[in-house]
Amino acid sequence: MLKVEKSVLELRKTLEEMTDIVISIVDTIRTCIKKENFETLEFVFQQDRHIDDLEKKIDQQAVALLALINPMASDLRFVFSVVKLNSDLERIGDECKNVAKELKTLEPPIPEDLKILADKVYEMVKDAVNALLNQNSALAQEIILKDDEVDKLEYSIQKKYSNSIGIAFAAKALERIADHTTNISENVVFATEGIDIRHENSIMNRLGKSDK
């Protein structure tokens, strides 16, 4: 195996550790909401330090890789995208903590809408990680499309439950998690195809460009 391949693989392994944890805490959040049972929420807080450490480790590995191996083209784009989506992953962890904090203030029953939102967000995170680890641009693009649904759902929750700060905040945090998965997906598209689709106005425009 080439040195560059080895180094990229090592980076990937750390990345996988990170995504495993991120998925598990988002899953915890989802399950807690679904089952209206907050006993396992502690897990989310426990993982926080772990995530922070991994974030640092990924950055260190990436910097070393850039400095020592001088990756080019797709390797370069992969490393660059990992550096960027690394912080999105860490922020997902933070947002999970925020959701958990809000959940602790709530008493069941939990509104059905929030359960649906949590489900959707979980699916998005899972897909984003899947797209990332398999460098699947098509999947990443689908996730970006889903973001709108989440935004709408969150908006309606905000309206409906404006009297319950806990629910509104939890929905807001879940929506932010979805935003981070969009960022991750954008980075996956960049890594795989070399196109930067951020800040494009319409979704059609974004994806039209990546049709090539």
Range 180-209, binding another protein (CB under 8 A): 193-195
Q: Of 7, 54, 58, 75, which lies in the binding site for another protein, with binding defined by CB under 8 A?
A: 75
Does residue 74 belong to the site contacting another protein (CB under 8 A)?
yes
Does residue 77 belong to the site contacting another protein (CB under 8 A)?
yes
Nearer to another protein by C-beta: 43 or 80? Answer: 80
Considering the complex, what minimum distance in angstroms separates the CB of residue 210 from another protein? 12
Q: How many residues bind another protein (CB under 8 A)?
A: 14
In this chain, which stretch among 2-10, 38-46, 165-173, 201-209 interacts with another protein, using CB under 8 A? 2-10
Q: Quick check: 93 and 51 in contact, CB under 8 A?
A: yes
Does residue 140 belong to the site contacting another protein (CB under 8 A)?
no
Does residue 176 belong to the site contacting another protein (CB under 8 A)?
no
Question: Under the rule (CB under 8 A), what is the footprint of another protein?
Answer: 2, 4-5, 70-77, 193-195
